Amino acid sequence: MAFADLRVHVQPRASKSEVVGWREGSLAVRLTAPPVEGAANKACRDFLAELLGVRRADVELVSGDKSREKRFRIHGLEDPEVRRRIDARIG
């Protein structure tokens, strides 16, 4: 089964959830969720699933549970398709 690894830099407690853009190979996102009790991780997972048009279950946090620098595995998509879908959404 295909999968893609996606590095994400998360800024919690933002005024709105949004993609900032690509920074040094990582997707920079702002989330309204606070970084407590896994709220930002859950919000990021939900946000990425919606952004990529996949099920929430297809987005797995691989590393960075307590860090702003996270790595997610996207099941069912390969790296070029993930990049294409994100770029299409952020213009």
Each domain of the chain, given as residue ranges in start order, spans: 3-90
Q: With contact defined as beta carbons under 8 Å apart, do 4 and 73 qualify?
A: yes
According to CATH, the topology of domain 3-90 is: Conserved Hypothetical Protein Mth637; Chain: A; (3.30.1200)
Q: What is the pLDDT of residue 91?
A: 74
- Residue pair 7/23 in contact by the 8 Å Cβ criterion: no
Q: pTM higher than 0.85 for the full model?
A: yes
Cα–Cα distance for residue pair 40/65, rounded to 1 Å = 9
Asked whether the predicted pLDDT for residue 79 surpasses 80, the reply is yes
Predicted confidence (pLDDT) at residue 5 exceeds the cutoff of 80: yes
Q: For 6-53, give the secondary structure using H, E and C.
A: EEEEEECCCCCCEEEEEECCEEEEECCCCCCCCHHHHHHHHHHHHHHC
1: which DSSP letter?
A: -
